[in-house]
Each structure stands twice: as C-alpha cells, then as structure tokens.
Amino acid sequence: MKIVYCGDIVGKSGRDAVLENIYNIRNKYKPDVFIINGENSAHGFGITPNIADMFFDKGIDAIVTGNHAFNKKEVIPYMDKCKKIIRPLNFPDANPGRGFCEIELLDGKKILIAQIQGILFMEPNDNPLTTIDKLLSSYILGKNINAIFIDIHAEITSEKLAVAHYLDGRVSAVIGTHTHVPTADARILKKGTAYQTDVGMCGDYDSVIGFDAKEPINRVLYRESHGKLVLSEGKGSLCGVFIETDNKTGLAAKIEQIIIHPDEY
C-alpha cells in the first residue's frame, strides 16, 4: 500500500501549498491513501467544517488533528458526524469525535489511521501507549488489517521515539507532528515500522512555525505575551512523507521525505 501524509497545515499558506500540489503528488507517488494534518489550517488554530470539506472534495482520504482539534467550536458537531476526521485517541472518552478511522480501498485492502497525543509538556490526557494498545488489540497487521498508520502529536523527541519503538513491528508507520519543523531521520526501524520524528508543517517557513516572527521574539525577550500571534502570509512549503508497505506483512518497505519549496510550484 502507498501512503502520503502531509504535516500540520498552517493557515492559508499551508492550505494553498497542499491544494496546489495534490495533483503533482498523486501523479508522482500514486498513493492509495492520502492523509493530511489539518489542526492549524483555520487561521493557525483548529479546523472548520468548510476547510475539511474543501480537502475531502479534493480527494483527501482522512484528516488528523491534534491539541487544537476543538479550537473552532463549529467543528465539534461535524467531528461527531464525519468518520474521516480524527482527534487524538487518548483524549477523554467524553470528548467529541473519534481517535481513529478505518478506510477500505477499492481493491478491498484496509488501513487503520489513528492519532495519539504526547503527555510531556502537553495538556493532561490518558496514557498514549495503553490507549493505543486497547485499539490494537482488535487489529493484527497483515492479518485483519493491511496497514496501520499512527500519528504521534507531541512536543518531545524522546517521547515520539519511545512510542515508535514500543509500536515497532505492530504498525506500518509512526509519524510525528506538532513541532512544525521537518526532522532528517525518516527511516524504517528494526522490526519494520516506518518512522520520522516530525514530518514538518505545510506553511510559510519564513516565520516562526507559521507565524510572523515579531510576537514570538517579544515572548522570548520579555518572557510574556505582548499580543496575539499573527499568521505569516508568504507562500508556503509543503512537507510530507511517502510510505510504501509490504502487501503480505503490512510492514514498511520504503519511507521517503517529501519537501516542496515555494519556488517549485
């Protein structure tokens, strides 16, 4: 199975970077499944039903979110209805939406897509490892599911690595998001799970993680907020990853970083 995943989409720059490159990515990688992270797609914080529908209309198969999943309140009833938009699985059970989805392809193959959120320097949530164990108790890679894709949305590199090694050999891929800067460690772990610490954002990199640099600089200088974060409005880069799995085992056969700079489209 061929999977493309695009990292945190930040504002209009990020939305445009993905929308303007969907055709070329499909043409080059011919993915069976195209997934995006949309948690910053609405003015940098959250996602709206209109934005989600815009991507689904372009053929995106699933949208994962993160700690900003519920920032736009209008998305809450939408999440309860739409099974293809995913919030962190280890959010409390009473939260809207769901933390995973299962997609069946035209050839009958199935992929499980799930997201867990880190607990170090993040809002308190359930334990990500015991939570994902409960989900995986119903799925055996290469048996009743053809591929399993896990997004780990977390601050700390070591936590993402720990999650990946814990799940190595049980899932097809563990891909990190949230810190918005692409890491240079895309690889396949010993037992066959594809991994990258952070896939990076889709947005304007002439910025501080997608925002105009002035306010983040002030917060470093004065250790307090001097105003709201303002989105950077330059042309965005696209950061993502391509993963190919073995048809028999469901484990990763290939992982390739995708970076498309603004001058390339």
Report residue 104 as tokens: 């069946």
Residue 226 has pLDDT above 80, yes or no: no
Place of tokens 């962190």: 88
Task: Check: pTM over 0.75? Answer yes or no.
Answer: yes
Place of tokens 């209309």: 57
Strand 252-260 and strand 238-245: the pairing is antiparallel
Longest dimension (CA), the chain: 57
Beta carbons within 8 Å of 101's beta carbon, 6+ residues apart:
62, 83, 84, 86, 112, 113, 114
pLDDT band at residue 225 using 50, 70 and 90 as cut-offs = confident
User: Tell me, what amino acid is at 184?
Assistant: A
| % residues pLDDT > 90 (the chain) | 97
Position 30 scores a pLDDT of: 98
Place of tokens 């002439």: 206
Catalytic residue among 43, 68, 153, 226: 68
32-87, pLDDT tens digit by residue?
999 999 999 999 999 999 999 999 999 999 999 999 999 999 999 999 999 999 99
Position 223 scores a pLDDT of: 79
Residue 135 has pLDDT above 80, yes or no: yes
Position 75 scores a pLDDT of: 97
CA distance 201 to 89: 21
Report residue 235 as tokens: 């042309």
Per-chain mean pLDDT for the chain = 97
Nearest partner of 2 among 82, 107, 116, 99, judged by Cα: 107
pLDDT band at residue 227 using 50, 70 and 90 as cut-offs = confident
4-37, pLDDT tens digit by residue?
999 999 999 999 999 999 999 999 999 999 999 9
Residue 115 has pLDDT above 90, yes or no: yes
Is residue 68 among the annotated active site residues? yes
List the end-to-end C-alpha distance of the chain, in Å, as a whole number: 27
Residue 224 has pLDDT above 90, yes or no: no
In the chain, the domains with their CATH numbers are 2-264 (3.60.21.10)
Average pLDDT over residues 84-104: 96
Whether the CB-CB separation of 254 and 243 falls below 8 Å is answered with: yes
